[in-house]
Amino acid sequence: MAIDPQPEAAAVAAPTAGGERGPWSLAARRFVRNRVAVAFLVLFFLIVLFVLAAPLWADHVAHTGPNKTHTLQQLTVGGEKRDVVNVEGQPIGPQLFAADGMFFLGADSRLGRDEMVRLMYGGRTSLLIGITTALITTALAVILGLLAGYYRGWIDTVIARTLDILWSLPVLLVGIALGVTLAVGGLKIGPLELSGGSLWIPIIVICVFTVPYIARPIRGEVLSLSNKEFVEAAVAQGAGPLRVMFGEILPNLASTIIVFFTLTIANNMLFEAGLSFLGAGVQPPNSSWGTMITVGVDLLNTQPLLAIIPGTMIMLTVLSLNIVGDGLRDALDPRSKIDLEAHTGTVATKASGAAAI
């Protein structure tokens, strides 16, 4: 009888407490225990409901559309007539339910559009862009990260250098440049044709510049995963590259991907707001929360809410996504408090980040 002196992994691995629970249900339980994160997840869903309700509110309460102007019209409030836009060009302030829900938050500018309706439709655009770009970015980043990390060699070099270059661009500035040139003339690549006002243009701009932020960390993770035994075992059993990348490595990236996806929605919504705010994103007459702030800032002195309300909506959405993302990270990757001897190389990994390029 002899004892293998190194059954280290088995001794160090944290045993599951209550028996048969899988890692996902454990993570779900940990997340649910995080009250703050759950509360903000609920807030996020409320915001989504709010923007989804836009047509209902527009048709049944406000009786107008997001881009409809009411400059020369009057509103009956408590039997008294009021200008939607007065002679000095000042839009009417919030009416709440005084006019049966019309101009609930007042009018947006001298164009006299219903601020509440625009807020709801604008939110749709902002969220739509945020989520779409996050989906595309994450998918692209995962594919690039897998290819670079798995094949290494020249494929990795090409991908990594491209990402480095994109990473080192002044993102907003180049984003503005690209957004503007595209907004003027639209885009035409082969059969694909987009007009200047298309929402796809800000989506493309955002995707191009945010891919490296996810692809780089994923590539790093793939690099280290592909040295692991289970990958080598799969290769030894004759699994092809696709099978290894998507069957073996990808599932191990799931928690990273989920966290990044959540945080990327938040980040991209801020990016969209920035672009739109500067006129290089969503083009009029479409609204997004970013374009609404641009309009509102001009009237800051007299009608501060026109800038503050859409700004607050962005903040609440981004805040809830950030907190949910953080909560997910904690739930999916609780720093194992048990490993005392297994952290060699932490600093070295960080150091290698600097030597890029």
Ligand X SMILES: Nc1ncnc2c1ncn2[C@@H]1O[C@H](COP(=O)(O)OP(=O)(O)O)[C@@H](O)[C@H]1O
What is the spatial distance between Cα 340 and Cα 346, in angstroms, rounded to a whole number?
A: 13
CB burial readout 279-313, b (16+ within 10 A) else e: bbbbbeebbbbbbbbbbbeebeeebebbbebbbeb
> Which range, of 100-108, 115-123, 154-162, 332-340, touches ligand X by CB under 6 A?
332-340
> Residue 315 interacts with other proteins (CB under 8 A)?
yes
Q: Which of residues 245-284 bind other proteins (CB under 8 A)?
A: 266, 270, 273-274, 277-280
Closest approach of Cβ 183 to other proteins, in Å? Answer: 9
Contact by Cβ (8 Å): 90, 303:
yes
Count CB-CB contacts under 10 A for residue 198. Answer: 18
Distances (CA, A) of 325 to 95, 186, 267: 37, 35, 11
Read off the DSSP letter of residue 19: S
Residue 252 interacts with which of other proteins, ligand X, none, CB < 5 to 8 Å by class:
none
Of 15 and 191, CB closest to other proteins:
15
Q: Which stretch binds ligand X (CB under 6 A): 32-40, 259-267, 283-291, 337-345?
A: 337-345
Stretch that binds other proteins, among 49-57, 78-86, 114-122, 288-296 (CB under 8 A): 288-296
Burial, 103: exposed, middle or buried (Cβ in 10 Å; 0-12, 13-18, 19+)?
Answer: buried
Q: Give min distance, CB of 8 to ligand X, in A.
A: 8
Which does residue 301 touch among ligand X, other proteins, none (CB within 5 to 8 A, set by kind)?
Answer: other proteins
Minimum CB separation from other proteins for residue 180, in Å?
A: 5
Q: Is 81 in the site for ligand X (CB under 6 A)?
A: no
Q: Are 209 and 163 in contact (CB under 8 A)?
A: no
When asked if residue 48 is in the footprint of other proteins (CB under 8 A), the reply is: no
Token pair of 209 as six digits? 């510049």
Q: Which of 176, 225, 253, 282 is in the footprint of other proteins by CB under 8 A? A: 176
Contacted entry of ligand X, other proteins, none for residue 171, CB cut-off 5 to 8 Å set by kind:
other proteins
We find the least distance from the C-beta atom of residue 315 to other proteins, in angstroms, to be: 5
Is 60 a binding residue for ligand X by CB under 6 A? The answer is no
Asked if 112 and 71 count as a contact pair (C-beta separation under 8 A), the reply is yes
Q: For residue 319, state whether it binds other proteins (rule: CB under 8 A).
A: yes
Structure tokens at 201: 């243009």
Q: Which of 127, 134, 171, 203 binds other proteins (CB under 8 A)?
A: 171
Of the candidates 352, 324, 331, the residue with the CA atom closest to the CA atom of residue 219: 352
Beta bridge partners of 241: none
Binding site for ligand X (CB under 6 A): 12, 337-338, 340
